Structure 1
Amino acid sequence: MDDAETLVQLRRLALLVAQGVPPEEVFAAVCKEIWRHFGGSTARLFRYELDGTVTLLANEGTTGPHVRVGERWEGYPPAGLTASVQRTGKIGRINDFRELPGGQKYADEGLISAVGMPIHANGRLWGMIAVGSSEGRLPDDTEARMAAFTELCAIAVANAQSRAELVSSRARLVAAADEARRQIERDLHDGAQQRLVALALRLRSVTDADGAAEVAADLMTVIDELRELSRGIHPAVLSDSGLRPALRALARRSPLPVEIDVRLDARLPSAVEIGVYYVVSEVLTNAVKHANATVVLVEVSVGEDVLELCVRDDGVGGADPSRGSGLVGLTDRIAALGGTIEVASPPGGGTTITCRVPV
């Protein structure tokens, strides 16, 4: 295939991304273009998830009972393409599935050989593009031919994913802000407002000093409630003293033992301090509720204009970033600051959340 046809294929992909079509359509189009470009029997696009699982995003060509687009890719051989590319982040090749332990199901669908190209996006291994042949060993130059083309296809894949995540993130942030406002309204209406109305009615009937003292005591309780509510909106210690004292205050209030190690020479931008504070607050809440941990370690440092936050617990692990609003909300908050977040939570191995935010 000549360079002109290659450019035509890449323009088609770029146009889909620019039109903002759903990522699933872009994934399918990428797979189809790769299948056309290399003339193989099969082309497949995979994504490596943060929890270590693999998802089959698109398939073109041969198929079988194990080929379920949009679902987890399971039961693949430890020495096969999926596992080797995931493990090494490098190109993989299988010359004969019939000789690969666990490779018979691929041979049954008609595949003999295959090559897998890693897709790197945003500094991590994002997925893999695989091309398979039912006519024998793929040519020795397949890897070299795939490299440049798949790199450009990977850009389209990453852009489509980023666009979709941005749209979803914005929607979630708006929804979260709306819900927070509604919660504050409920807290004020059901708590302080009701008590103030009751106090106003009692004041009308107060006739002696004892009655006035009781009203004053109740008024102080209302003031304490309002202070607690305002602390949840924005802690005063964060504005007045900065991140280190604010995180230490969080640690003191936590039911779990929390070790704080904050290495900062100066105050950070307000948005960054607020973002880090609420990330730590949410992670501590999750650790108390779900992790069955005995201790949490919080580390904050700044180097080369990037703040790094690391929160570790020694709990049960198994946290899934794709499930539940907590971790998704943290991802949105850090993304809004132009940062990244990584979650490592192997079952039985505790949970480590690492955030990097430009400052």
Structure 2
Amino acid sequence: MPTIALLPGDGIGPEVAAAAVQVLDAVADDLTYDEHLAGGAAIDAHGTALTDEALAACQASAAVLLGALGGPKWDTNESGAVRPEQGLFRLRAELGLYANLRPFRPLPALYDASPLKRELIEGVDLLVVRELTGGLYYGERGTSDGRAYDTMVYTVAEIERIARTGFQAAKSRVTSVDKANVLDTSRLWRSVVTRIHSEEFPHIELEHLLVDAAAMRLVAAPRHFEVIVTENMFGDILSDEASMLTGSLGMLPSASLGGDGPGLFEPVHGTAPDIAGQGIANPLAAILSFEMALRWSLGRADLADRLYAAVDRALAEGARTPDIGGALTTAQMGDAVLAQL
């Protein structure tokens, strides 16, 4: 019986996690849950954003399901202060989560919610595979004497493993995004991705695209893409740009994967403290994150397909929370998906 580590977190995190667990139970009733505090809630209770006990539970689980972490209560610029996001950083490091996957599949019922024209987003089925543990965000940095620097470093091994993740996720085509006309790290990136393609995935089409051209094409012709694989900062920016295809952050799931250990699955949205406790948050990003857990960590693609189809049908029949133009509560939106199941 698979055990799921459940970290509801802060703000709307517990609300959307509860609705998602209820839906997931209806799809896969053999799962058990091991719930722990994380983020600000853990800081208040234990003085740390993630306890050793919670980390051990995550390491022993089949998958980790996270609500959202953080909020203004714990925002501080004080040096050495404990911050909620430290729990997430520790999870990524301890679980070896180097690949962040964000799918973008605008649902037909919400085509008109996107700021892009309907004819541009119809049929989009795009996955951004972002390298999560290297690059500018983790390189040597500093500020002194009116000068600041951030160092982008990538190794061959880091590029090889994220390239394999991208190719394994693709059915027919991978677009590798870099800035090889300027950056040495990008030239190494392009060389390694090309070699991995030719040696291991020659049946998959590979194209290389500079990041500025990719950013333009993402809004001008998003159907061009199937899988985008790219380094940390480019992936951060491009995936946020792609979020506009769906019209609401409340619809976007994500997965962070590593080696043989459990994956981490969480909605892209934050803790939304302005609506926390009101019961109106959209649970669909959390529900679809759990759908990704079924697909990527639990090996139950058939159940994931059922769950995705239920979300699609619920929206097609008019179920909406306020962020997507409706008036349903978090629980009612979950019930609408349950009714389809």
Same fold (TM over 0.5): no
Say which structure, 1 or 2, has more relative contact order (CA 8 Å, 6+ apart): 2
Taking structure 2 as the reference length, the TM-score comes to: 0.23
Higher Cα Rg, which structure: 1
More helix by share: 1
